[in-house]
Amino acid sequence: MLYIGVDLGTSAVKLLLMDEQGKIHNIVSKEYPLYFPHSGWSEQNPEDWYEQSVEGMKELIRDCDKSQIAGISFGGQMHGLVVLDEQDQVIRPAILWNDGRTGKETDYLNEAVGKEKLSEYTANIAFAGFTAPKLLWMKEKEPENFAKIVKIMLPKDYLAYRLSGVHCTDYSDASGMLLLDVKNRCWSREMMEICGITETQLPKLFESYEAVGTVRPELAEEIGLPGQVRVIAGAGDNAAAAVGTGTVGDGMCNISLGTSGTIFISSKSFGVDANNALHSFDHADGYYHLMGCMLSAASCNKWWMDEILKTAEYTKEQEAIQKLGENQVFYLPYLMGERSPHNDPQARATFIGMTMDTTREDMTQAVLEGVAFGLRDSLEVARSLGIQIERTKICGGGAKSPLWKKIIANVMNLKVDVIESEEGPGYGGAILAAVGCGEYGSVEEAAGKLVKVVDTVEPEEELVAKYEERYQKFRRIYPTVKGLFRALAE
C-alpha cells in the first residue's frame, strides 16, 4: 500500500509518497507566502496551505497506482492560531509560531497567573509563540473577531479538517497550545477559563496514529484518490520528525536543523524540569517528550547567506572553513527572539568578537557554531535532570551540511546518526499514516522497521575539548547583554 505524508512548513508544504516498506516514491514541494504586517508579526493565509496541498497531492500521485493509496497524515508547524466562524470560514490570517506580538499576554500569564500554576495546569509556562497568548491578544485587540470564534485550530489540523470535514487535533500538537493538560491528555479547564473559551470551541483530541475520518468524496475525486482514503491525525512537526528519525520509545534523541531548531528527547514517563526551560509535551508514539526549541536555526544561515552575503552558494561558503574550535567570533542566534531556554522574545541576534583580521569565513562559521551552542543550552538542561544522552539522530535542511553535523557532534559531544531519509516530518507523517491504516501495530514497531541509520558522525576528543572552552564563553554572552535587548526594544 501507499501512504502520503504532508509536512506543512512555514515556507512550503512538502508532500511525500511512501510504500509499506518505507521506500519513498515521490516528493513534491509547493511554496506559499509569509506575511509580516508589523515588526515582529508573522502570519499566513490558511487557504494557501490548502490550495497548495491539494495541487501538490495531484502532482504527487500522478504516476502511481492510485488504488494503492490507503492513508494521509501530517507533520505541521506548531502553535499557529487558526480561528473559524460558524460557517467554518477563516476569520483572520493565521498567527504563526514565530510571531512575537504577545509579549504583554505572555508576561500576564507567567506573572499574574504564575508560572507555577501554568506548569500545574499544562506542564509548561507561557512562551510568546504559544497559542493561548495569541487568544488573549485577539480578545483584547480584535474583540469583534474573537466573538466570532466557533473553532480554534492548529495549522495542520485545518488541513485535516478541509480533507475530512472533522475538527480534530492530536496530543503532541495540542501540547504546544498552553491549553492542554499534558500529563492527563485532556483540555485544561483552568486554561480555557483564563482564555475565555469553551471546550466546544476546541477540536476533538486524537492520538497521532488514530484515524479521524476519510477524505471527503468530492475532494477525493478532484485529487484522484480512491474512495475511503483514511485521514490520520498526525503530529506537530517536531514529534513527526522524531517519528521519521526513529526517535520514539525511551531515552532517544533527535536534533532538527530546520527553520527553527530543536533538541527532542523521547520518554515513556512524564517529566518537567524545575524552571520549565524545556517544553514537556505529549509524543506521537502515545508517550511523552522533552523539547528545547530555538526560534532560528537553519534560518540563521539562510539569513546570513541570502540577505547579508547575497549568495546562493551555501556549500561553497562552508568549504573554506578549516579551523574548528578556534573561532574568536561568537554569534547569538536570536533573530526572532528566543524560546528555549531563555524565553525572551526581545532577544536579538548579535555578533561579538570581531577584529580587523576577522574573515568572511569566521563570520559564517560563527553562525553555524552559534546555532550549535544554542542547542547545547537546552541539552544542558536535560543533563541537569539526570538524562544521559550519548547519541542523537539529526534531520532538517541544515543536516545536509557535513560541516554543520561535525560542529554539532563536537559541540554536544554526541554521536550523530544520519538516517537514510532526511525527510523528517513528512516521513514521520507517512509512518503515522501506515500505523493508522493497520500496516504496523505501533509507532515504535513501524519506526524500528522503517528508519535506517546510514552514517554516524563521531565526536573527536581534541575538538570536543576546544568547543567546551568556546561554549563556556558563549554561555556568558546572553546574560551579559540581556538587559540591553530590553532597553533597545523600548
Cα separation, 142 vs 308, in Å, equals 36
Contact assessment for residue 464 and residue 407, using Cβ atoms and an 8 Å cutoff: no
User: What is the CB-side half-sphere exposure of residue 2 using CA atoms within 13 A?
Assistant: 19
Cα separation, 108 vs 428, in Å, equals 36
Cα separation, 386 vs 59, in Å, equals 48
Report the chain's terminal Cα–Cα distance, integer Å.
Answer: 57
Contact assessment for residue 299 and residue 335, using Cβ atoms and an 8 Å cutoff: yes
User: Among 467, 460, 472, which Cα is nearest to 365's?
Assistant: 467
- Read off φ and ψ for residue 284, nearest 5 degrees: -70, -15
**Residue 230 is which amino acid?**
R
Cα angle, residue 357 at apex, residues 352 and 358 outer, rounded to 5°: 40
237 is catalytic: yes
Contact assessment for residue 414 and residue 254, using Cβ atoms and an 8 Å cutoff: no
Annotated binding residues for substrate, written as ranges, equal: 78-79
Residue whose entry in the numeric block shows the C-alpha cell 539529526: 394
Per-residue cell: 194: 483564563
Cα separation, 256 vs 75, in Å, equals 13
How many residues does the structure list for the chain?
A: 490
Helices (H), 351-451: 360-384, 402-412, 424-436, 443-450
User: Among 184, 75, 203, which Cα is nearest to 131's?
Assistant: 203
Cα separation, 232 vs 122, in Å, equals 25
Dmax over CA atoms of the chain, in Å, equals: 67
Cα separation, 467 vs 464, in Å, equals 5
Annotated binding residues, written as ranges, equal: 78-79
Axis crossing angle, helix 461-489 with helix 360-384, rounded to the nearest 10: 90
Per annotation, catalytic residue among 99, 237, 282, 285 = 237
DSSP SS3 for 96: coil
Per-residue cell: 50: 490548502
User: Among 45, 49, 1, 52, which Cα is nearest to 22's?
Assistant: 1
Point out the residues that are catalytic: 237
